[in-house]
């Protein structure tokens, strides 16, 4: 009798596992993508504010190859440049170096996004509790605060011929747009750059999160030139809470 009970219990367990597996397989693709998009993120991101233009080196050494130069202010708004801080090193002379994520395009042969080393002098350090995740498959923008999911907004992402680039980026500046400007009322200009356009509408092919004003497309679709479009309510909320240096993960 005990063997029969064991076999029955075993059958029940197998049936339960099978139902759970089928349930996972039947979960809508959008829901699966949303679940993946809401994976844990860090509670905060260290950032550094530039008080002067900085030369960027390939390694934390004065004699190391120069890979870029970063201005103390952003080109559109004139606000101070704020970069995600990824690490620190001290050279043999006691000079402190900071490894930062850089705006702009990757150098030829380098995998985007670029990073480099700047001297710690003429900088101010702080942290941001915000993090944006853009899930291209579900066409959603997810906002985290202090490592916790706060908001999810439906979005329009890049179409197949002009895709939104994937990678680890950050917000360069928060731009208020005129009421007649495409994408009004706000745009969060990102460190990401289009893989298709080297320049667009007079700019450097920069990817932005912006509104829908004077633009076509339906939320939840892939129809843009690479930028991420949001409803007016969503972009206004972001503009009120998200500032320069906030990390943006696009996958």
Nearest to 62 by CA among 90, 87, 88: 90
Q: Has residue 2 been placed in a domain?
A: no
Q: Which of 98, 128, 158 is the last residue of a domain?
A: 128
Residues 226, 146 share a domain: yes
Number of domains observed in the structure of the chain: 2
Nearest to 54 by CA among 73, 75, 69, 33: 69
Q: Supply 108's token pair.
A: 């030829």
Give the C-alpha separation, 186 to 78, whole Å: 16
Please write the tens of the pLDDT for every residue from 50-78: 999 999 999 999 999 998 899 999 999 99
| CATH assignment of the domain containing 88 | 2.30.30.40
Q: Has residue 9 been placed in a domain?
A: no
Does 225 have pLDDT greater than 80?
Answer: yes
Q: By the 8 A CB rule, do 192 and 224 touch?
A: no
Torsion of CA 148, 150, 154, 160, to 10 degrees: -30
Residues 174, 51 share a domain: no
Residues 57, 122 share a domain: yes
pLDDT of res. 216: 84
Does 130 have pLDDT greater than 80?
Answer: yes
Residues 135, 193 share a domain: yes
pLDDT of res. 10: 44
Q: Has residue 113 been placed in a domain?
A: yes
Q: Which of 90, 113, 128 is the last residue of a domain?
A: 128
**pTM assigned to the model:** 0.81
Q: Which residue segment(s) compose the domain that 150 sits in? A: 32-40+129-250
Please write the tens of the pLDDT for every residue from 135-149: 999 999 999 999 999
Q: Has residue 20 been placed in a domain?
A: no
| CATH assignment of the domain containing 233 | 2.40.440.10
Q: Which of 100, 128, 156 is the last residue of a domain?
A: 128
Residues 153, 233 share a domain: yes
The larger pLDDT score, comparing residue 25 to residue 174, is at 174
Q: Has residue 15 been placed in a domain?
A: no
Residues 6+ positions from 28 with CB-CB distance below 8 Å: none
């Amino acid at each position: 009798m005990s063997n029969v009970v064991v076999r029955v219990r075993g059958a029940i367990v197998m049936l339960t596992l099978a139902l759970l597996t089928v349930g996972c397989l039947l979960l809508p693709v959008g829901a699966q993508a949303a679940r993946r998009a809401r994976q844990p993120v860090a509670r905060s991101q260290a950032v550094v504010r530039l008080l002067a233009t900085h030369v960027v080196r390939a390694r934390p050494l004065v004699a190391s190859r120069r890979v870029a130069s970063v201005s103390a202010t952003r080109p559109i708004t004139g606000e101070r440049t704020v970069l995600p801080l990824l690490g620190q090193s001290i050279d043999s002379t006691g000079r402190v170096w900071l490894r930062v994520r850089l705006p702009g395009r990757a150098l030829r042969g380098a995998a985007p996004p670029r990073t480099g080393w700047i001297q710690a002098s003429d900088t101010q350090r702080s942290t941001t509790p915000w993090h944006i995740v853009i899930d291209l498959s579900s066409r959603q923008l997810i906002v985290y605060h202090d490592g916790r999911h706060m908001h999810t907004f439906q979005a329009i992402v890049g179409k197949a011929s002009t895709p939104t680039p994937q990678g680890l980026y950050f917000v360069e500046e928060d731009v208020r747009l005129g009421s007649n400007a495409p994408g009004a009322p706000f745009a969060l200009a990102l460190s990401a750059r289009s893989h298709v356009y080297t320049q667009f509408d007079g700019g450097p092919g920069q990817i932005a999160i912006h509104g829908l004003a004077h633009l076509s497309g339906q939320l939840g679709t892939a129809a843009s030139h690479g930028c991420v479009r949001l409803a007016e309510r969503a972009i206004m909320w972001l503009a009120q809470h998200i500032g320069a240096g906030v990390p943006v993960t696009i996958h």
